[in-house]
Amino acid sequence: MQDTLIGRVGEVSEMMKGLNESATLAMARIAREMTAAGHDVVSLSLGEPDFDTPDFIKEAAIAAIHNNITHYPPVNGFLDVREAIVAKFKRDNNLTYKPTEILVSTGAKQCIANIIFALVNPGDEVILPAPYWVSYAELVRLAGGKVISIPSKVENDFKMTASGLEAVITPKTKLIIYSSPSNPTGSVYTKEELESFASVIEKHEDLYVLSDEIYEHIIFSGKNTSIASIGNMWDRTITVNGVAKAFAMTGWRIGYMGGPKWIVDACIKMQGQITSGANTIAQMATKAAVLADVSKLQYMVDIFRRRRDLMFGLLQEIPQIKVNLPDGAFYFFPDVSAYYGKSDGGKVIRDSNDLSTYLLEKKLVAVVPGDAFGGFENIRLSYAASDEKLREAVKRIKEGLAELK
């Protein structure tokens, strides 16, 4: 009887059948597999800084190990870590929270999932200014919500307008989710733009905002503004952040959120049934990170700015693509739709998925299709890589596109 069960494949749930694999992680996985098989792949797919975690953060983690901070933590995070996050929010974002209004999670992605499942009922509408991060839409659908997308173009720096926002709000609208600086576009909303959104949102009772600010310190002009600091938006906003991007701590898996206590309490209940408290050693490292002067990160920001300028110049040399100059994060999201309908003599390029596959298979460059971000005319390129790799990647992309007729 046991032998007959070997290799048996059952049927997954309907929920799982409807869940798409993360496009960014999928492309990174394929690129790693091809590299392991001996192919010279240049990957611009994963949103991960290519820097090592700063030493002062590592030292805090090592001290935590020596001090035996290795037992179960509270679900919402250690009190001293939450107090450090409170201080960070006040210093950097002009936001006042109590430790009970903070939740530490296993990455900002878990914070986002907690919030969506805490607020969204089946049939509720969730507004996503497009392009948007890939997981927003999938998590909304998992919660039974309906995605309402607000499209934008490279010509207007991929930004939503207040009038565009007002036009899609209905009595069923429950939540707006956006990131600034943006993944995948690098666009940054100004304080004035956020004020215009706030004036719209404040008119609609029971409408909330999830502000994803994970890239807040990777900004090349001015300073990031948190919408929760504007007018009466504190009560309506959940601010999500983390240490992965700005502190080069992607593998430490720590994110955090600040918001009204009733929402945070609901998220704590959710997290308590899924993962419980976040890693204790990583929490101590996070405390050191968020309390540090942000000037300690400037060397990384300066390098990202230089790479952005390099990449912008290289991309402008490719015929028929449209590209803008992003103000933050480490992505470009060029419009490559001029190449749709063309062919290399074999397969016709119909969309961004086909183009991304073509570039990977024929030119060994890994990019992410824009379709997954709600940007169907685009592909996402991460410039979190060395100058040499960036030059080589764009060279291959240019050659590959030139071969399409």
C-beta separation of 263 from 118 below 8 A: yes
**Residue 1's pLDDT is what?**
43
**In whole angstroms, what is the distance from residue 247 CA to residue 49 CA?**
9
Q: Residue 62: in which H helix or E strand, if any?
A: helix 55-66
**In whole angstroms, what is the distance from residue 43 CA to residue 30 CA?**
10
Domains of the chain: 2-52+297-402 (3.90.1150.10), 55-292 (3.40.640.10)
**In whole angstroms, what is the distance from residue 114 CA to residue 282 CA?**
20
pLDDT tens, residue order, the chain (405 aa) = 444 555 677 899 988 888 888 877 787 788 888 888 898 899 998 889 999 999 999 999 999 999 999 999 999 999 999 999 999 999 999 999 999 999 999 999 999 999 999 999 999 999 999 999 999 999 999 999 999 999 999 999 999 999 999 999 999 999 999 999 999 999 999 999 999 999 999 999 999 999 999 999 999 998 899 999 999 999 999 999 999 999 999 999 999 999 999 999 999 999 999 999 999 999 999 999 999 999 999 999 999 999 999 999 999 999 999 999 999 999 999 999 999 999 999 889 999 999 999 999 999 999 999 999 999 999 999 999 999 999 999 999 999 999 999
Query: Does the N-terminal peptide bond of residue 171 adopt cis geometry, omega within 30 degrees of 0?
Result: no
Q: What is the pLDDT of residues 220-270, one digit of tens each?
A: 998 899 999 999 999 999 999 999 999 999 999 999 999 999 999 999 999
Q: Per-residue DSSP letters for 267-327?
A: HHHHHHHHT-SPPHHHHHHHHHHHHS-GGGGHHHHHHHHHHHHHHHHHHTTSTT-B----S
pTM: 0.94
